[in-house]
Structure 1
Amino acid sequence: MWPLRRQRKIRSLPIELTGDDLQHVGSKAVIDSRPPSIRQYALYSHRLSNGMRLTRDASGRERLGGWEVTVHTQQTVPARYRDRFDAADPPCRHGGGEYISFRGLIIEGMAGLSSRLVPSRSWRPPSAECRRICALIAQQPLLWGGCRTIDSIYGDSRRFVLHGDEEGDEFAAYIETFKGRNGSAYISLWTTEAPKQGGSGPAAFPRGMAIARNKMDGPSLALLPTI
């Protein structure tokens, strides 16, 4: 997957674990107490940047990059995610945001390390475009052929992973949507694709643009006219 390839200590995939990796995961009791997605990530998070390193403090709390990760149970999960609760990859809270899954939190964190903005657009109410973006945020997955969605509640926002979450993907491309407190809605395309030499603006990222055109439906593409 693209996020791991961009971390300088991850040179190849799949990751080959060593005895040193196992020294970082803690006792058997710690390992057994973690949901599978967190248990897996703990095996190699120490190879990543400090901001993506998972640790457990003396009080038994999970921390990612120094910030506490609150792992939800079926009793504490926000109502918005209750019907999609997965004990193997549970919703969690981190840095003021709520995430539908731990993997979603990790993907969002890694995406922010190396992504470039391609086009973006904002729309004000009561425009049809503004309503369309709000509908994308509220709509139940799966959208656009089953794209992974990552939700958080910095206001109302959702990220749609168009490319980069499968083995062999060399870069990421994702759509980010956000509804502001004033009712305006925003949509943008981001990618970790290396810009094409001599290109400028959206044209510098032809593969990311092509993926967006192939994955998104017509009304959604119309929200970003430069695609």
Structure 2
Amino acid sequence: MDYLLRMTHIVEEGGPWERCLQLLHLLKNCGHLPSLPIIITPDDVRQVGTKMVFDSQPPAMRQLSLFRSRADDVGFPSIFSKRIKSRDRQALTEAFNRFLTPDMLPGDLPAVHTSDPPVIYDRYGATSSSDIAASFTDMCLYAIFTDIAGIHGFVEPDEIMTRTAQQQLMERLGQLTSRMDPTWSGSRLAYVWMGRFPEWGWCNTNVVVCGDKATDEFAALVHVDVFHLFHQPSQTCDLWIVTTEPRVPRQRSSAQRCPRTAALIRAKVDAMEAESLVARRCAY
């Protein structure tokens, strides 16, 4: 009975579950969850912690606390814990110095979502390397990007699109980053600033191209670094593409080894170029 009461409280007080569901699909397509749906066990409920701890966290953290142990490697911390070198739920929670509210952020940043607020966390456990994620979920998405890159490596952009298209893509993502748009052409965007001051430093911007929907069979993300120097216009560089798409053997180019990822990226680029063409025509 206690298990059922606690489970009811978790479901009712967990807040909006849409972002958590997207995260679970992404974890499954990265190989960190064996399958979906997940059967919640009493052990899952116990590792959430006390009601007081659960209620004190923003909804996004409450939801992940129910599933985080499922993303653990055997004998090792989860991909989220590895990012900040904490090996248990309490250490992971304590690693976040504080949740940021609107009065703590620079005035030019958009409104904060209280259900999934920006967080400061200590990268690798070092206070000198503290980062700001635009939301708790954004931090999780960045951890997933680094995990895919470490396991599967990078897809070479030169083998998928032209240099001109790459430059246009980076410029577009730089513009989206300056506005902190939540999505781009239906794809989720995630922002993590390396260093505590978003107005001075660089932002890791990640685009979830696929993997966060029930119909997706693999995950693919695009990553760029957006630099802000002394309040000058943003500079965007370092375009990276990662994917968990199974590689086609005995193929030389990235486009041939990962044909579905290449097709998705090219579709994004084609749509972007079409939008730019329409905008130029409307300007005349």
| Amino acid across the alignment from 1:73 | T
With over 3 angstroms needed to count, the CA separation of the structure-2 counterparts of 1:133 and 1:87, relative to structure 1, is closer
Deviation at 1:40, TM superposition (A): 0.5
111-120 vs 201-210, greater mean Cα deviation: 111-120
Is the 1:100–1:151 contact (alpha carbons within 8 Å) kept by the matching residues of 2? Answer: yes
TM-score normalised by L of structure 2: 0.63
- Structure number with the higher helix fraction is 2
- 1:48 alignment partner in structure 2: 71
| 1:139-154 mapped onto 2 (5 Å cutoff) | 139-141=179-181, 144-154=184-194
Bigger radius of gyration:
2
Match of 2:104 among 65, 76, 87: 76
Q: Out of 95-104 and 34-43, give the one that drifted further.
A: 95-104
Preserved contact between residue 118 and residue 190 of structure 1 (Cα < 8 Å): yes
Higher strand share: 1
Q: Does 1:189 align with 2:246?
A: no
Structure 2, gaps ≥5 residues long? 1-24, 82-87, 124-129, 195-201, 230-234, 276-284
- 1:119-130 mapped onto 2 (5 Å cutoff): 119-120=156-157
Under a length normalisation based on structure 1, what TM-score does the superposition of the two structures give? 0.77
Distance 1:161 1:80, change over 3 A: farther
Aligned match for 1:62, one of 89, 93, 103: 93
- For residue 137 of structure 1, the aligned residue among 177, 188, 192 is 177
User: Unaligned 5+ residue runs, structure 1?
Assistant: 221-227
- Identity between Structure 1 and Structure 2 (%): 24
The equivalent of 1:21 in structure 2 is: 44
Letter in 1 for 2:225: F
**Distance between the aligned counterparts of 2:70 and 2:106, measured in 1?**
32
Q: Which residue of 2 aligns with 1:102?
A: 136
RMSD: 3.1
Q: 1:152 Cα deviation (Å)?
A: 1.4
- Which secondary structure does the structure 2 equivalent of 1:43 belong to? helix
C-alpha contact 2:205 2:223 (8 A) present in aligned 1: yes
Q: Give the aligned length.
A: 209
**1:179 paired residue number:** 226
Q: Deviations over 1:133-179 (max 9, x none)?
A: 64343244255423211111121331111111222322111211113
What is the CA distance between 1:215 and its match in structure 2? 2.4
